Amino acid sequence: MEENAGSILQNGGALFLPGLSVDCVIFGFHDNQLKVLLLKMRHAEKWALPGGFIYKEEEVEHAAVRVLQSRTGLSNIFLRQFHTFGELSRTDKLLNKKLLVSSGLQADENHWFLQRFVTVGYYALVNFSGAVPRPDATSEACAWWDLQEVPPLNLDHGDILQKALETLRKQLSDQPVGYSLLPEKFTMPELQRLYETILGKQLDRRNFQRRMLGYGILKRLEERRSGGAHKAPYLYCFDTDRYQDALLNGLQQKW
């Protein structure tokens, strides 16, 4: 069970590694839009990325997994560390003081929560329909945002989000994406739309299909997508063994 905000803020100095945190960029895909999960912290005007502190006896990646599971309710999440952010200006002492005071605590300048924090960035690809957004102990809301409609974010979280997106785009040249973002069965146009949304540009239909089939990670099913005005396209699914091999060893053909 997640601890309440007062307990975390009061006892965090003894529980967590000093000066180190994790921030998570959680991507989902829905209605042909790439989404990102954001939190609205109490007493803050701006939204922020989900994040958290690292217990003294906890692996850094385990802390990121814990944050992801508590924000989405999902397990077995695709997760990658992508950058460390340590600018001197990335701590908002005024906001943190408000959180301390609202929890009935003294905002002493030496309080652990008011010190400088370096954060380790992780990005995750999750099943949008299976995720249940949940606020954490210091926030009042947790919701999906279309990537194109993300408001100005707290601290350097806008930079963290942009760096995560850049890293995801680079991943398309070396590793597949889609297994965590699409339903189990999907059409080639749906897969292409995912790639176009991530890359921010249109792709040639024939080139895209040839490349995706050339990777050997797809299985064409005998089923077709019904309900469209045009000829119903075939449904595909991922060959999970080959997909996992491509994640480990990279794609044989590049974009």
* CATH code at position 10: 3.90.79.10
Mean pLDDT of 144-152: 95
Q: How far apart are CA 119 and CA 198, in angstroms?
A: 24
Whether residue 24 is found in the same domain as residue 112:
yes
* Confidence band for 228, pLDDT divided at 50, 70 and 90: low
Number of domains in the chain: 2
End position of a domain, from candidates 171, 194, 228: 171
Residues 57 and 144 in one domain: yes
DSSP string for residues in 212-227: HHHTT-EEEEEEE--S
Q: What is the extent of the structural domain holding 93?
A: 5-171
- Phi and psi angles of residue 104, each rounded to the nearest 5 degrees, phi first: 80, 25
Instruction: Please give the model's pTM, rounded to 2 decimal places.
Output: 0.88
Q: What is the spatial distance between Cα 203 and Cα 34, in angstroms, rounded to a whole number?
A: 16
pLDDT at 1 over 50: no
Q: Give domain status of residue 202, yes or no.
A: yes
Model pLDDT for residues 51-107, shown as the tens digit of each residue? 999 999 999 999 999 999 999 999 888 999 999 999 988 888 888 888 888 878 888
The reported pLDDT for the residue numbered 64 is 96
d(CA 178, CA 240): 11
Is 149 within the bounds of a domain? yes
Residues 167 and 49 reside in one and the same domain: yes
Please choose, from the candidates 110, 142, 125, the residue with its C-alpha nearest in 3D space to the C-alpha of residue 13.
Answer: 110
CATH code of residue 218: 1.10.10.10
Does the structure show a pLDDT above 90 at 137? no
In this predicted model, which residue has the larger pLDDT, 212 or 42?
212
Looking at the structure, do residues 158 and 195 belong to the same domain, yes or no? no
Question: What share of the chain has pLDDT > 90, as a percent?
Answer: 64
Does residue 180 lie in a domain region? no
